[in-house]
Structure 1
Amino acid sequence: MRNIFILPIAATLVAFNQPSPTMDTFKWPGGIQAPVAEKEAKVFVAHGDQRIDNYYWLNQRENPKVLSYLNAENAYLDTVMSGTKELREKLFQEMKSRIKEKDESLPYKDNGYWYYTRYEEGKQYPVFCRKKESLEAPEEILLDQNIMAEGFKYYSIGGRAVSDNNELLAFTVDSVSRRLYGLQVKNLVTGAIYPETIPNVEGNYIVWAADNKTIFYVKKDVTTLLGYQVWRHELGTDPAKDVMVFEEKDNRFYIGVYRTKSKKYISIFSNMNQVSTEFRLLEAAQPTGLFKIFEPRKENFQYSIEHFDDRFYVLTDWDAPNFRLMQTPEAKTGKKNWKEVIAHRKDVYISNMLVFKNHLVLGEVKDALNQLRVIDQTSKEDYYISFPETVFAAFQHINPDYNTNLLRFSYTSMTTPGSIYDFNMDTRERVLKKQTEVLGGFKQEDYAAERLWATVRDGVKVPISLVYKKGMKKDGSNPLLLYAYGSYGASMSPGFNSNIISLLDRGFIYAIAHVRGGQELGRHWYDQGHMFNKKNTFYDFIDCGEFLIKEQYTSKEHLYAQGGSAGGLLMGAIVNMRPDLWNGVIADVPFVDVITTMSDPSIPLTTGEYKEWGNPAVKEEYSYMKSYSPYDNVEKKAYPNMLVTTGLHDSQVQYFEPAKWVAKLRELKTDNNKLLFKINMDAGHGGASGRFDYLKDKAWQYAFLLALEGKLE
C-alpha cells in the first residue's frame, strides 16, 4: 500500500535564543548543469481525453539508459550539496549520538518465555532473544540479524512466530527491499534451520497451528505484490506440496492470517481499506479443517473480531461511522446475532480493541488525541487512563498474555520520549518500565508543545501540533517545518522523534497538520479527505501554512513542507497549487503520477486503492484525479526549492514516479531554485535497513533545509 508511509513523527525542540539566520551565509555552487532526461512521447487516451507522457520510458528499471540517468541525478545532487558535506556528517553523528547503541527492548512474557530484542554497540541490526520463565535465566539467541545480514546491501527480518511447544521459530527475510519475503523455520532446540524455503510471501503473516508442525502463510503475486492466497505448509515436507486454503478473487482486497489472542482460532481476513472486511475462522487444533466465514463481506461494511470465552467481540461501522462495539455467541457469528456493548458516538472514533480474561481495552480517538478506555468484563464499569500533557499519544503495547490484569501501554508526546508502562487495570497503579534514553544532553523541560486550531477556507477547524524551545518569539522569523500525511484514514500522532532535535536546536519549529484524509477527528475526517473530497487534504495543508504565517510562527521565507508516500502526493499538489508559499519542500518517495499508476492494475498495489483515489476507468473519477495529479499539473512557472527522494526497489511507490516528476519539473519550471533528486540504488520504500544507515538519508534532508536557511554550523 502507498499507506506504508514515511513518518517523521513529531519531535522536540527548537533553539530560539539564537539570532535569526542570515540567508547569505551559505553559497550554493554555481554553473552546474542539471541532468536532462530525453523526451519520448507516449500518448494515453481515456474518455476522449489525451495525455502525453514524455518520460514514461523511465519505468524500465533494468535499462542501462535509465540507470545512467538516475546515477547522473545522484551525481548532480552530490555536486550541488558538496558544500554541506561536513554538515551532513555532523548531523549524522549528532543523531547517532542520541541513540543508546547498547540497548534492549522491554521484555514481554508469552507462553512461558520472556522475549526481547537487543542491540550491540556499533552494530546495525537487532539480536532477537528470549529467556525461559525468569529474566535471570540463560539467554537464548533466536536470530542475530547482524550475522545473517553479512554480505547484503539490504536485509530485513519480517515476521517471527514461535510454535506452541516453544521449539520452532518461523521467520521471514527480505534481502532486496521489494517486500517479497522468504519463509524459513529454525529449530530452537538444535539451532538448525530447516532446508525448505518458501519464497514470495507476506512478511508479517505467518501462523502456527496447535499441532506444532503446520504453518499458514500468505503468498504474494510477484508482479502486483498483492497477497492473494493463504497456504498451509507441513514442516519437513516439500513446499511444492503445500495446500492452498483460501484465494482472494477480488484484487481490491488485502489479505492476512493471524492467531487469535485466545489461541483457539486461526483467522484469515480480507480488507478493502476503509470500505469492507471479511473474516474466516478455523480452530487451531484442526489445521486441516475448513475455514468458515464469520460474516460475509458487503460494500461499506467493516468489522474486526476478538475471541473471548464463549463469544466474540465485534468492532464494526454497521450503522456507526465511528464504530461501535458488539458481541455475539461463539457458535452464532452472523450479524443478526450481534448485540451492542458500546454505542456509537459522533465525537469519538473507536480505533481498536484488546481483550483480556477480566478486562477489555478500547483505543479511542477524540480531538486528534489517542485515549485508552478500560472496561471490567464482569461489572462493565469503565474509565479512561489519565495523562498529564495536553498533546500526547497513548497506545496499547505488546500484550500477548490473556490471563493478566496488567495492561502494557506506550506513551509519548512531542517533548516526552517513548515510554512504556505496566498498568494494573484493577488498582489503576502504573509503573514506568522503560523510557527511551535520549543521549547528548537533551532536557525535556527546555521545550514546550502546543495544539492550535486553524480555521480553513470552508470554515472547518484543523488541528496542528507543534513543538518549540521555551522562549520562542512569534515574530515571523522562525524557520518552521510543516509535516502531514492525510490519506487512508491514517492518523498522525504527536509523538517524540529524537532526530528532529538536530533541526530544532538550530532554530526550527516542527509542526504536524492533522489534515482531512486521516481520522484524527473521526470517520467524517477521512470521508472529507478522499475520493471526490481529496482536494480538502491539499487545501487544509495550505491553509495551515497560511495560518502559521498569520500567527507569526514563521513567514514565507522560512516555511518548509515535508511529506512522504501518499504524503508526497500532498507535497506535489501543494507546490502546484501554491508554489509561492514555501521556501523549500521535501517529498519523500512521493506518489505523484496518480492517473498512470491507477490505470495500470499490474503496478503493485493499484487495485487495492480504487476506493482511496478512484478508478480511472470511471470517467468522473478519472477527471477528478487528473485535476490534482501532481505529474499531470506541472506547469511553466516558478517552483520552490525541492528535494525529492526515492528507492530503486520501492514496492509501494515505484521509483519512476518521482523520476518522471523531477524530469518534467526540470523541463518546465521557470525559476532558479534548487531541484534535487536523491535515489537510493540499494533500497526501497522505507530506505536503508540498518539501524544507523537511514540517518545518513535524514542528514541529507536536514542539510538541505539548513543550507536554505543559510546555516552550516
Structure 2
Amino acid sequence: MEAPKAKKKKKELEIHGDTRVDNYYWLNERENQDVIAYLNSENNYTKEVLKHTETFQKNLFEEMKSRIKEDDTSVPYKLNGYWYITKFEKGKDYPIYVRKKETLQAEEELLFDCNEMAKPHSYFKLGGIAISPDNTLAAFSTDVVSRRQYSIQIKDLRTGEILKDKINNTTGSITWANDNETLFFTKKNDVTLRSYKIFKHKLGKDVNEIQEVYHEIDDTFNTFIYKSKSKKYLVISSSSTLSTEYRILNADNPDGEFRLFQERQRDLEYSIAHYNGCFYIISNAHKATNFKLSKAPESATSIENWEDVIPHRKEVLLEDIEIFKDYLVVNERENGLNKLRILAWNGEEDYYLPFNSETYTSYIGNNPDFNSHILRYGFNSLTTPSSIIDYNLKTKESEVKKEQEVLGGKFKKENYTSERIWATARDGVKVPISLVYKKGIALDGTNPLLQYAYGSYGSTIDPSFSTIRLSLLDRGFIYAIAHIRGGEYLGRDWYENGKLFFKKNTFHDFIDCSKFLIEQKYTSKQHLYAYGGSAGGLLMGAVINLNPELYRGILAAVPFVDVVTTMLDDSIPLTTGEYDEWGNPNDMEYYNYMKSYSPYDNVEKKNYPNMLVTTGLHDSQVQYWEPAKWVAKLRELKTDTNTLLLHTDMDSGHGGASGRFESLKEIALEYAFLLDLEGIYV
C-alpha cells in the first residue's frame, strides 16, 4: 500500500521580515472533510503496514492486561465521617465510587458507577467529585469529548436524584462553601480554553444566573479555586509560568469579598496553606531559587509580613508540604531523590523517613484529615511495585496498606536490576539516567534500549514502576529515563537551564545521554529507540533533526512540533500562558531562536529513523494538526525508505482513550512497532 500524500497548498507566514512557507497549513481545518479523509487514510496505512503484527498486538494487549488486577480496590480514606473507596470490577473499564459511614463494616453507598455513565459515549471521563460539608450532595463533572471541557452537575445522595443544575465548559474542579448551598468553579474561554473566570452558583437558582466572582484578564495567567485543608478559607489562585497570586475569603461567608493575599510580582512564585491562625507559604521570594517555607499571620497583607520557617537551601528543592494538627510534613528533593521530612509543631521532632535505594520515587499521598496522626505516602521504584503506606507520626510505626499486585505469577522483582548512571553533556554538566533491565543480560551493545524523557515545564519524570513496561523488559529491552535539563530533577536551576534561550540544552542532553549509552555498550545505534510525548514529542522532533543516525526508531506521542506557528497563534489553547516557557515569538529574538529548533521548520532532505507518531483529533493541549503536518512534511522530504506512520485516535484527545484497558491497545501498537523493528514476535 502506498503511503498517503497530503495535498500541498502553499501558505506564506510572514513576521519580522521573514517568510516561512507552510504547504500543509490547511490541515488545521478540523471540519474540512478532506482533512478527515487524510487522517483516515493515514490510519488505514498504519493498519496495513502493521497488519502482520495484529495478532502480536492482541497478544501484547492480553499480556499487559493479565498483569493488572481487574477487580481492584483503592485504599479507603476517611473524610468528614465517611470512608471513600474507588473500585474496579472484572470486565469493566471504568471506576466505581462508593462510601461507607463511620466504619468500613458499614453498608456500602454507591456514589457513581462510571461504567453506566460512560455507556452512551465513545469517550468518558469523570473529573472532580466534591461532597458538600453536610455529606448530602455530590457535585461532579464529566467530559464526553476529550477536550478537557467539563460539565458540572449535582447529585442528591439522599435520593440518588441528579438535580437540574448543569453548568458547561468548566475545568471540572468544584469547591463548596461551608453553607452547603454555594458552589464555586472555574469557566474556560470558549476559544482558547484558558481557565479565566471564577463563578459561584447557589442551589435552586437558575444556572443562567451564575455570578462571576473573579475574572483573570491577563491572558498569560490561569485561575482556579479551592478550599484550605483547615476548611476555613476559600482560595482563588492565579498563576503563570513565573508568577502566582492568591485571594482568600472565609468559607463561612461565601457572599463576601475575596481579599488579596500578596499581589503578583514578576518571578515571584508562591503557594499557601492555612494552619492555626497562620498561612504557611512556599515561595522563591528573595532569590530562594529552590524555594523556602515561610509563615505569616492571617491578617498579613504582603510579603513584608512573611517570616522564614525553613530557609532556602542551595542543594535542596522544597516541593510540597502537608499540614496536620500536630505535625508538618515536607516533601524535598536532593540530588534527584525525594525525601519526606517530619517536623513536630512543638519543635521536639525533626527527621527524615528512611529510604534505602539508589533510585526510587516517594510522594505524599491523600491526607484530607487535618486532625489525623497518620501520614499516607507512596513508594515505588523501577523494580518495586507501588506501595501505599500509612505512617503513624506518634508511634513511628508503618503499615503497608496496599502493594500493587502484578498478576500472572511470572514477575519477581529480584529478576530485574535498576541503576543510576551519569552522562557528561557537551558543556561538561553531568546528566543522570535511571535504568532498568532484566538481570543477566550482557552489556555488549546488542541490547535494544528505549530512552525516554520529557524535559519541559520543570516537570520531573521520577523512576517509577510499570507493569506494562515488563512486556519490553522481558523481551530483552533496557528502559532508560534521561533526567535532562528542562525538568526539576536536580532542582530549580535544572529547569531554568532548559527553557527559553537555554532550550537547546534539553535536546543536547538527550543526545549526549544517547551517545553515552552507546559508548557504555548498553546499546548501539542499530538498537536504540527514543520515546517522548507532548513537549517530549518536541524533544523527539528536535533530536532527529540534529542526530537522526543515532536512533533505529522513534515513538512520538501527541508531539508539539510546530512551535513557531503555534506560539504565534494566541487563539490556540495554552499559547499565551506558554510565553515564559518557550518565549514570545512576536519578539524577533525569540522568533529566531524558536525557528532554529522547531521540528516542523527544520525538516530537511535526509534520512530519518523509523517513526510512529500518534495524536488525538480532539486534543486540546497539542492540536492534532501539528503531528499531521509534521508527518506530511517528513513524507515529502525524507530520503530513506524507513517506516513512517501516523495514527490518529478519532475519538480522543491529549490523554488518549478513556477506558481503563482501551489505552493498553495504544501501548500494544507502540510496543509492536518497536518489537517488529527488532524482529521479536513472541
Matched, 1:684 2:653: yes
Give, in angstroms, the shift of residue 445 of structure 1.
1.2
Distance in 2, Cα, partners of 1:312 & 1:631: 47
The alignment partner of 2:667 has SS state of helix
- Match runs of 1:512-527 below 5 Å: 512-527=481-496
Matched, 1:292 2:259: yes
Give, in angstroms, the shift of residue 380 of structure 1.
5.5
Distance in 2, Cα, partners of 1:382 & 1:607: 43
Matched, 1:113 2:82: yes
Question: Hey, what does 2:373 align to over in structure 1?
Answer: 405
Matched, 1:267 2:235: yes
- Match runs of 1:355-374 below 5 Å: 355-374=323-342
Q: Which amino acid aligns with 2:111?
A: L
Question: Hey, what does 2:457 align to over in structure 1?
Answer: 488
Q: Which one of 308, 311, 322 corresponds to residue 343 of structure 1?
A: 311
Would the aligned equivalents of 1:371 and 1:393 in 2 still touch at CA under 8 Å?
no
Question: Hey, what does 2:245 align to over in structure 1?
Answer: 278
TM-score (normalizing by structure 2): 0.99
Question: Hey, what does 1:209 align to over in structure 2?
Answer: 177
The alignment partner of 1:515 has SS state of coil
Give, in angstroms, the shift of residue 371 of structure 1.
1.2
Distance in 1, Cα, partners of 2:190 & 2:336: 38
Distance in 2, Cα, partners of 1:388 & 1:347: 20
Deviation beyond 3 Å, 4+ runs, structure 1: none
Q: Which one of 370, 379, 386 corresponds to residue 347 of structure 2?
A: 379
Question: Hey, what does 2:139 align to over in structure 1?
Answer: 170
Distance in 1, Cα, partners of 2:326 & 2:424: 44
Farther-moved stretch of structure 1 (376-385 vs 322-331): 376-385
Q: Which amino acid aligns with 1:311?
A: C
The alignment partner of 2:257 has SS state of coil
Give, in angstroms, the shift of residue 381 of structure 1.
3.0
Distance in 2, Cα, partners of 1:236 & 1:99: 44
Matched, 1:649 2:618: yes
Q: Which one of 108, 116, 122 corresponds to residue 139 of structure 1?
A: 108
Distance in 1, Cα, partners of 2:269 & 2:444: 48
Question: Hey, what does 1:24 align to over in structure 2?
Answer: none
Give, in angstroms, the shift of residue 266 of structure 1.
0.6
Distance in 1, Cα, partners of 2:404 & 2:636: 46
Question: Hey, what does 2:552 align to over in structure 1?
Answer: 583
The alignment partner of 1:596 has SS state of helix
Matched, 1:547 2:516: yes
Q: Which amino acid aligns with 1:347?
A: E
Q: Which one of 73, 81, 86 corresponds to residue 104 of structure 1?
A: 73
Q: Which one of 574, 581, 592 corresponds to residue 605 of structure 1?
A: 574
Distance in 2, Cα, partners of 1:380 & 1:530: 42
Matched, 1:562 2:562: no
Question: Hey, what does 1:25 align to over in structure 2?
Answer: none
Q: Which amino acid aligns with 1:646?
A: T
Would the aligned equivalents of 2:87 and 2:95 in 1 still touch at CA under 8 Å?
yes
Would the aligned equivalents of 2:280 and 2:296 in 1 still touch at CA under 8 Å?
yes
Question: Hey, what does 2:35 align to over in structure 1?
Answer: 66
Give, in angstroms, the shift of residue 388 of structure 1.
2.6
Q: Which one of 387, 395, 399 corresponds to residue 431 of structure 1?
A: 399
The structure-2 alpha-carbon separation of the partners of 1:632 and 1:380, relative to structure 1 and needing over 3 Å to count, comes to farther
Give, in angstroms, the shift of residue 236 of structure 1.
1.6
Question: Hey, what does 1:310 align to over in structure 2?
Answer: 277
The alignment partner of 2:555 has SS state of strand
Distance in 2, Cα, partners of 1:615 & 1:224: 17
Would the aligned equivalents of 1:255 and 1:268 in 2 still touch at CA under 8 Å?
yes
The alignment partner of 1:652 has SS state of coil
The alignment partner of 2:97 has SS state of strand
Would the aligned equivalents of 1:255 and 1:269 in 2 still touch at CA under 8 Å?
yes
Matched, 1:190 2:124: no
Q: Which amino acid aligns with 2:263?
A: P
CA deviations 1:283-336 (Å, max 9, x no partner) are 110000011111000000011000001101010001200000100111124211
Q: Which amino acid aligns with 1:261?
A: K
Distance in 2, Cα, partners of 1:705 & 1:276: 41
Farther-moved stretch of structure 1 (427-436 vs 86-95): 427-436
Would the aligned equivalents of 1:180 and 1:222 in 2 still touch at CA under 8 Å?
no
The alignment partner of 2:511 has SS state of helix
Question: Hey, what does 1:36 align to over in structure 2?
Answer: 5
The alignment partner of 1:197 has SS state of strand
Would the aligned equivalents of 2:432 and 2:483 in 1 still touch at CA under 8 Å?
yes
Matched, 1:353 2:353: no
Equivalenced residues, count: 680
Distance in 2, Cα, partners of 1:327 & 1:669: 58
Q: Which amino acid aligns with 1:422?
A: D
Distance in 1, Cα, partners of 2:168 & 2:515: 50
Distance in 2, Cα, partners of 1:464 & 1:478: 17
Question: Hey, what does 2:357 align to over in structure 1?
Answer: 389
Would the aligned equivalents of 2:441 and 2:476 in 1 still touch at CA under 8 Å?
no
Q: Which amino acid aligns with 1:58?
A: L
The alignment partner of 1:556 has SS state of coil
C-alpha RMSD over aligned residues: 0.7
The alignment partner of 1:142 has SS state of strand
Question: Hey, what does 1:223 align to over in structure 2?
Answer: 191
Matched, 1:334 2:302: yes
CA deviations 1:55-103 (Å, max 9, x no partner) are 0000011111000000000000010000101110000000000010001
Q: Which one of 597, 617, 620 corresponds to residue 628 of structure 1?
A: 597
Would the aligned equivalents of 2:374 and 2:392 in 1 still touch at CA under 8 Å?
yes
Question: Hey, what does 2:26 align to over in structure 1?
Answer: 57
Distance in 2, Cα, partners of 1:495 & 1:157: 25
Question: Hey, what does 2:385 align to over in structure 1?
Answer: 417
Question: Hey, what does 1:246 align to over in structure 2?
Answer: 214
Distance in 1, Cα, partners of 2:457 & 2:147: 21
Give, in angstroms, the shift of residue 423 of structure 1.
0.5
Would the aligned equivalents of 1:589 and 1:646 in 2 still touch at CA under 8 Å?
yes
Give, in angstroms, the shift of residue 219 of structure 1.
0.4
The alignment partner of 2:34 has SS state of helix
Matched, 1:86 2:79: no
